[in-house]
Amino acid sequence: MFLEIFLIILASILMIVGLLGCILPVIPGPPISWIGILLLHLTERVQFSLEFLIIWLVIAVAITIIDNIIPIYGTKRAGGSKWGVWGAAIGLIIGLFFGPPGIIFGPFLGALAGELMYAHTRKDVQGTPTKTDAEKNKRALISALGSFLGMMVGIVLKLIVSGILTFKFVKALIAG
């Protein structure tokens, strides 16, 4: 009985951490949510099918991998650099301290700062026309937007997966 209560409490904590991990870039939200489902499955109170567990494990891992690719893809499509991706991640972490507006604008401002630093510190390739500051700023803005959009798509995908797992968790816990 004590072990079952412990597993349910630990699984509940993991579900919450999994949802937070969808927004925090260093915590893999969907896999943590899946571990919460697995712990609930280990109790006598709730049983999920093996098929359900395997399918959602594959989905959680796939979304985590995709989440690492999408911001890079968005940045590269917009002509950006790794500086923009890192800036977006740092901006998101700093933005968490400023509530919902910080979560929305932090990644964009971070990506913009990263791209501006990159644009103004790299040397133009010999033989190509030197870009003006206005051209560099415009390019940095477009790149930052690509990085920001890529990060937001990843967050939404992770929230969908972790949200569904949390719903299944709560539904099974109530029904069980």
Residue 56 to residue 30: CA distance in whole angstroms: 9
Dihedral angle sign, alpha carbons of residues 108, 109, 110, 112: positive
Task: Check residue 6 and give its pLDDT.
Answer: 96
* Domain ranges, ordered by start, for the chain: 2-175
Report pLDDT digits (tens) over 29-66.
999 999 999 999 999 989 999 999 999 999 999 999 89
Residue, of 76 and 172, whose pLDDT is higher: 172
87-121 pLDDT, tens digit each = 888 888 898 888 878 877 888 899 899 988 988 88
pLDDT digits (tens, 9 = 90+) for 117-151: 988 887 665 555 567 888 888 888 888 888 778 88
Please, are residues 25 and 89 in contact by the beta-carbon 8 Å criterion? yes
Measure the CA–CA gap between 114 and 145, rounded to whole angstroms: 12
